Structure 1
Amino acid sequence: MMTTEQSRKFIKEYFDAMCQDKSEITIDKYVADQHLKAHIVIFEAGLPNYQVIPQDIIAEGNKVTVRFVAEAEHKGELFGVAPTGRKVKVDGIIIYELADNIIVNHWMQADSVALMQQIGAMPVESDRH
Protein backbone atom coordinates (compact mmCIF):
# COMPACT_ATOMS: atom_id res chain seq x y z
CA MET A 1 0.00 0.00 0.00
CA MET A 2 1.20 3.50 -0.82
CA THR A 3 1.86 5.95 1.97
CA THR A 4 -0.01 9.24 2.15
CA GLU A 5 3.04 11.19 0.95
CA GLN A 6 3.70 8.74 -1.91
CA SER A 7 0.05 9.06 -2.97
CA ARG A 8 0.13 12.87 -2.90
CA LYS A 9 3.41 12.94 -4.86
CA PHE A 10 2.06 10.49 -7.46
CA ILE A 11 -1.09 12.57 -8.08
CA LYS A 12 0.93 15.78 -8.42
CA GLU A 13 3.15 14.00 -10.97
CA TYR A 14 0.04 12.69 -12.77
CA PHE A 15 -1.47 16.18 -13.04
CA ASP A 16 1.81 17.62 -14.32
CA ALA A 17 2.13 14.88 -16.93
CA MET A 18 -1.49 15.12 -18.10
CA CYS A 19 -1.25 18.91 -18.52
CA GLN A 20 1.57 18.27 -21.01
CA ASP A 21 0.41 15.13 -22.82
CA LYS A 22 -2.77 13.06 -22.83
CA SER A 23 -1.48 10.41 -25.23
CA GLU A 24 -2.34 6.74 -24.68
CA ILE A 25 1.22 6.11 -23.46
CA THR A 26 0.95 8.81 -20.78
CA ILE A 27 -2.55 7.74 -19.75
CA ASP A 28 -1.47 4.09 -19.46
CA LYS A 29 1.51 5.07 -17.29
CA TYR A 30 -0.78 6.57 -14.62
CA VAL A 31 -4.26 5.07 -15.08
CA ALA A 32 -5.55 1.49 -14.91
CA ASP A 33 -9.19 2.53 -14.28
CA GLN A 34 -10.92 1.98 -17.65
CA HIS A 35 -13.72 4.46 -16.92
CA LEU A 36 -11.23 7.22 -16.18
CA LYS A 37 -9.30 6.39 -19.36
CA ALA A 38 -12.53 6.67 -21.38
CA HIS A 39 -13.40 9.96 -19.67
CA ILE A 40 -10.00 11.44 -20.56
CA VAL A 41 -10.33 10.36 -24.22
CA ILE A 42 -13.87 11.80 -24.55
CA PHE A 43 -12.95 15.13 -23.03
CA GLU A 44 -9.66 15.40 -24.92
CA ALA A 45 -11.61 14.95 -28.19
CA GLY A 46 -14.15 17.67 -27.35
CA LEU A 47 -11.90 19.98 -25.36
CA PRO A 48 -8.41 19.42 -26.79
CA ASN A 49 -5.55 20.19 -24.43
CA TYR A 50 -7.95 20.82 -21.55
CA GLN A 51 -6.20 21.68 -18.30
CA VAL A 52 -7.21 20.43 -14.88
CA ILE A 53 -5.82 22.79 -12.27
CA PRO A 54 -5.73 21.46 -8.70
CA GLN A 55 -7.02 23.90 -6.09
CA ASP A 56 -6.63 21.55 -3.10
CA ILE A 57 -5.02 18.12 -2.78
CA ILE A 58 -5.92 16.07 0.30
CA ALA A 59 -4.35 12.65 0.73
CA GLU A 60 -4.95 9.83 3.19
CA GLY A 61 -3.18 6.53 2.61
CA ASN A 62 -3.81 5.37 -0.94
CA LYS A 63 -6.69 7.82 -1.61
CA VAL A 64 -6.24 11.36 -2.86
CA THR A 65 -8.99 13.98 -3.19
CA VAL A 66 -8.50 16.89 -5.55
CA ARG A 67 -10.71 19.96 -5.79
CA PHE A 68 -10.07 21.33 -9.27
CA VAL A 69 -10.93 23.82 -11.96
CA ALA A 70 -10.94 22.51 -15.53
CA GLU A 71 -10.34 25.03 -18.30
CA ALA A 72 -10.60 24.44 -22.03
CA GLU A 73 -11.86 25.59 -25.38
CA HIS A 74 -14.67 23.65 -27.07
CA LYS A 75 -12.94 22.68 -30.34
CA GLY A 76 -14.37 19.19 -30.94
CA GLU A 77 -17.72 17.46 -30.70
CA LEU A 78 -18.72 16.87 -27.08
CA PHE A 79 -21.86 14.93 -26.11
CA GLY A 80 -23.28 15.52 -29.59
CA VAL A 81 -22.62 19.27 -29.48
CA ALA A 82 -20.63 20.57 -32.45
CA PRO A 83 -17.55 22.67 -31.64
CA THR A 84 -18.41 26.23 -30.62
CA GLY A 85 -14.95 27.63 -29.91
CA ARG A 86 -16.26 28.80 -26.53
CA LYS A 87 -13.95 28.82 -23.53
CA VAL A 88 -15.19 26.75 -20.61
CA LYS A 89 -14.31 26.70 -16.93
CA VAL A 90 -15.78 23.99 -14.68
CA ASP A 91 -15.31 23.23 -10.98
CA GLY A 92 -15.15 19.69 -9.65
CA ILE A 93 -13.90 17.21 -7.09
CA ILE A 94 -12.30 13.84 -7.78
CA ILE A 95 -11.13 11.08 -5.45
CA TYR A 96 -8.44 8.74 -6.76
CA GLU A 97 -7.68 5.30 -5.35
CA LEU A 98 -4.11 4.18 -5.97
CA ALA A 99 -2.37 0.81 -5.92
CA ASP A 100 1.22 0.10 -6.96
CA ASN A 101 1.74 3.58 -8.44
CA ILE A 102 -1.31 3.60 -10.70
CA ILE A 103 -4.88 4.91 -10.45
CA VAL A 104 -7.18 1.92 -10.02
CA ASN A 105 -10.47 3.69 -9.22
CA HIS A 106 -11.96 7.17 -9.13
CA TRP A 107 -15.08 9.04 -8.09
CA MET A 108 -15.76 12.40 -9.69
CA GLN A 109 -18.33 15.16 -9.39
CA ALA A 110 -18.04 18.09 -11.77
CA ASP A 111 -20.43 20.90 -12.61
CA SER A 112 -21.78 19.31 -15.79
CA VAL A 113 -24.68 21.78 -15.97
CA ALA A 114 -22.22 24.68 -16.13
CA LEU A 115 -20.24 22.83 -18.82
CA MET A 116 -23.35 22.24 -20.95
CA GLN A 117 -24.43 25.88 -20.51
CA GLN A 118 -20.99 27.13 -21.50
CA ILE A 119 -20.96 25.11 -24.74
CA GLY A 120 -24.51 26.23 -25.54
CA ALA A 121 -26.24 22.88 -25.01
CA MET A 122 -28.41 24.18 -22.14
CA PRO A 123 -29.83 27.63 -21.49
CA VAL A 124 -28.27 29.77 -18.81
CA GLU A 125 -30.76 30.60 -16.04
CA SER A 126 -30.98 34.27 -17.07
CA ASP A 127 -31.78 33.21 -20.67
CA ARG A 128 -35.06 31.62 -19.61
CA HIS A 129 -36.88 34.87 -18.79
Structure 2
Amino acid sequence: MSVEGNKATARRYYEDVLNKGEIDLLDELAVPGYETHDPLPGQRTGLVGLKDRVTMLRTGLAPTFTIEDMIAEGDKVVVRWRNNGSMVGEFLGMPANGKSFSIPGIDIYRLENGKLAEHWHVVDALGQAQQIGLIPSGADA
Protein backbone atom coordinates (compact mmCIF):
# COMPACT_ATOMS: atom_id res chain seq x y z
CA MET A 1 0.00 0.00 0.00
CA SER A 2 1.10 3.58 -0.56
CA VAL A 3 2.40 5.90 2.12
CA GLU A 4 -0.84 7.90 1.87
CA GLY A 5 -2.86 4.69 2.24
CA ASN A 6 -0.88 3.78 5.36
CA LYS A 7 -1.55 7.24 6.81
CA ALA A 8 -5.26 6.81 6.08
CA THR A 9 -5.26 3.50 7.99
CA ALA A 10 -3.60 5.14 11.01
CA ARG A 11 -6.04 8.07 10.87
CA ARG A 12 -9.02 5.68 10.83
CA TYR A 13 -7.60 3.93 13.90
CA TYR A 14 -7.59 7.18 15.89
CA GLU A 15 -10.77 8.74 14.55
CA ASP A 16 -13.04 5.72 14.17
CA VAL A 17 -11.69 3.16 16.65
CA LEU A 18 -10.21 5.15 19.54
CA ASN A 19 -12.50 8.18 19.39
CA LYS A 20 -15.77 6.60 18.20
CA GLY A 21 -15.38 3.08 19.61
CA GLU A 22 -15.77 1.17 16.34
CA ILE A 23 -13.72 -1.75 17.69
CA ASP A 24 -14.90 -4.23 15.03
CA LEU A 25 -13.20 -2.03 12.44
CA LEU A 26 -9.89 -3.37 13.80
CA ASP A 27 -10.53 -6.61 11.87
CA GLU A 28 -10.08 -4.50 8.74
CA LEU A 29 -7.30 -2.21 10.00
CA ALA A 30 -4.86 -4.62 11.74
CA VAL A 31 -3.23 -7.97 11.03
CA PRO A 32 -4.11 -11.00 13.22
CA GLY A 33 -0.54 -11.14 14.57
CA TYR A 34 -0.48 -7.45 15.57
CA GLU A 35 2.42 -6.80 17.96
CA THR A 36 2.67 -4.02 20.53
CA HIS A 37 5.90 -3.34 22.35
CA ASP A 38 4.23 -1.81 25.42
CA PRO A 39 1.11 -3.78 26.32
CA LEU A 40 -1.14 -2.63 29.14
CA PRO A 41 -1.34 -4.95 32.17
CA GLY A 42 -3.74 -7.75 31.26
CA GLN A 43 -3.60 -7.03 27.52
CA ARG A 44 -3.40 -10.19 25.42
CA THR A 45 -1.28 -10.51 22.29
CA GLY A 46 -2.27 -10.14 18.65
CA LEU A 47 -5.39 -8.53 17.24
CA VAL A 48 -7.44 -9.60 20.26
CA GLY A 49 -4.87 -7.78 22.42
CA LEU A 50 -5.32 -4.60 20.40
CA LYS A 51 -9.06 -4.90 20.98
CA ASP A 52 -8.33 -5.38 24.71
CA ARG A 53 -6.25 -2.20 24.73
CA VAL A 54 -8.90 -0.11 22.99
CA THR A 55 -11.62 -1.46 25.29
CA MET A 56 -9.54 -0.71 28.41
CA LEU A 57 -8.81 2.82 27.23
CA ARG A 58 -12.37 3.62 26.16
CA THR A 59 -14.13 2.16 29.22
CA GLY A 60 -11.63 3.50 31.74
CA LEU A 61 -10.53 6.84 30.33
CA ALA A 62 -13.05 8.01 27.68
CA PRO A 63 -10.24 9.31 25.47
CA THR A 64 -10.46 11.84 22.68
CA PHE A 65 -7.36 11.80 20.52
CA THR A 66 -6.37 14.76 18.39
CA ILE A 67 -3.76 14.06 15.73
CA GLU A 68 -1.23 16.89 15.78
CA ASP A 69 1.27 15.51 13.26
CA MET A 70 1.50 12.45 11.04
CA ILE A 71 4.66 11.47 9.18
CA ALA A 72 5.09 8.39 7.01
CA GLU A 73 7.83 6.73 5.04
CA GLY A 74 7.92 3.24 3.58
CA ASP A 75 5.98 0.90 5.86
CA LYS A 76 6.12 3.19 8.95
CA VAL A 77 3.69 5.85 10.18
CA VAL A 78 4.47 8.16 13.10
CA VAL A 79 1.60 9.93 14.85
CA ARG A 80 2.06 12.74 17.38
CA TRP A 81 -1.17 13.25 19.28
CA ARG A 82 -2.87 14.76 22.31
CA ASN A 83 -5.30 12.69 24.37
CA ASN A 84 -7.94 14.45 26.48
CA GLY A 85 -10.17 12.32 28.65
CA SER A 86 -11.58 11.56 32.08
CA MET A 87 -11.30 8.55 34.34
CA VAL A 88 -14.90 7.37 33.91
CA GLY A 89 -14.33 3.69 34.69
CA GLU A 90 -11.81 1.36 36.27
CA PHE A 91 -8.32 1.68 34.82
CA LEU A 92 -5.24 -0.29 35.89
CA GLY A 93 -7.07 -1.46 39.00
CA MET A 94 -8.13 2.01 40.14
CA PRO A 95 -11.85 2.81 40.31
CA ALA A 96 -13.39 5.68 38.38
CA ASN A 97 -12.90 9.10 39.96
CA GLY A 98 -13.99 11.49 37.19
CA LYS A 99 -10.61 13.24 37.05
CA SER A 100 -9.66 14.71 33.69
CA PHE A 101 -6.32 14.57 31.92
CA SER A 102 -4.60 15.97 28.86
CA ILE A 103 -1.40 14.25 27.71
CA PRO A 104 0.84 14.19 24.65
CA GLY A 105 2.13 11.05 23.01
CA ILE A 106 3.79 9.59 19.95
CA ASP A 107 2.98 6.27 18.30
CA ILE A 108 5.01 4.52 15.62
CA TYR A 109 3.32 1.87 13.51
CA ARG A 110 4.70 -0.62 11.01
CA LEU A 111 2.13 -1.64 8.44
CA GLU A 112 1.85 -4.77 6.29
CA ASN A 113 -0.24 -4.48 3.13
CA GLY A 114 -1.98 -1.40 4.51
CA LYS A 115 -2.77 -2.93 7.93
CA LEU A 116 -1.35 -2.11 11.36
CA ALA A 117 1.18 -4.82 12.23
CA GLU A 118 3.51 -3.47 14.92
CA HIS A 119 3.37 -0.63 17.45
CA TRP A 120 5.77 1.40 19.61
CA HIS A 121 4.40 3.96 22.05
CA VAL A 122 5.82 6.97 23.91
CA VAL A 123 3.45 8.80 26.26
CA ASP A 124 3.61 11.09 29.29
CA ALA A 125 2.58 8.26 31.62
CA LEU A 126 3.79 10.11 34.72
CA GLY A 127 1.74 13.19 33.85
CA GLN A 128 -1.33 11.07 33.17
CA ALA A 129 -0.92 9.07 36.38
CA GLN A 130 -0.64 12.31 38.37
CA GLN A 131 -3.60 13.96 36.64
CA ILE A 132 -5.96 11.01 37.24
CA GLY A 133 -4.76 10.45 40.79
CA LEU A 134 -2.89 7.14 40.43
CA ILE A 135 0.11 8.80 42.05
CA PRO A 136 0.46 12.17 43.79
CA SER A 137 1.75 15.14 41.82
CA GLY A 138 4.65 17.21 43.08
CA ALA A 139 2.20 19.67 44.68
CA ASP A 140 0.30 16.83 46.40
CA ALA A 141 3.33 14.86 47.61
**Which of 32, 41, 45 is the matching residue for 2:55?**
41
Give 1:46 shift.
0.6
Alpha-carbon distance, 1:127 to partner: 1.9
Instruction: Please give the alpha-carbon distance, in whole angstroms, between the structure 1 residues aligned to 2:87 and 2:139.
Output: 22
Distance in 2 (CA, whole Å) between partners of 1:93 and 1:20 is: 16
Matching residue of 1:14? 13
Q: Deviations over 1:51-99 (max 9, x none)?
A: 1111110100111001111111111001111101111111110001111
The question of whether the paired residues in 2 share the 8 Å contact of 1:7 and 1:61 is answered with no
- Per-residue CA deviations over 1:16-36 (Å, capped at 9, x if unaligned) read 212553243122221232243
Whole-Å Cα distance in 1 between the matches of residues 13 and 57 of structure 2?
A: 17
Deviation at 1:47, TM superposition (A): 1.3
State the TM-score, normalizing by the size of structure 2: 0.80
Tell me which moved more, 65-74 or 31-40. 31-40
1 CA distance for matches of 2:121 and 2:77? 12
Structure 2 CA distance for aligned equivalents of residues 75 and 20 of structure 1: 15
Pairwise CA RMSD: 1.7
- Give, in whole Å, the separation in 1 of the partners of 2:74 and 2:108: 12
Q: TM-score, normalised to structure 1's length? A: 0.86
Aligned-partner Cα distance in 2 for 1:124–1:89 = 14
Q: Give the count of matched residue pairs.
A: 126
User: What's the counterpart of residue 99 of structure 1?
Assistant: 112
Q: Equivalent residue for 2:90?
A: 77
Q: What runs of 5+ residues in structure 1 fail to find an aligned partner? A: none
Tell me, what secondary structure is at the counterpart of 1:126? coil
Match of 2:103 among 65, 90, 93: 90
Tell me how far apart the structure 1 counterparts of residues 91 and 118 of structure 2 sit (CA, whole Å).
24
Unaligned runs of 5+ in 2: 35-45
Larger helix proportion of the pair: 1
Report whether the alignment pairs 1:61 with 2:74.
yes
Q: Distance in 2 between matches of 1:20 and 1:109?
A: 19
- The Cα shift of 1:111 comes to 0.9
Question: What is the letter of the counterpart of residue 58 of structure 2?
Answer: E
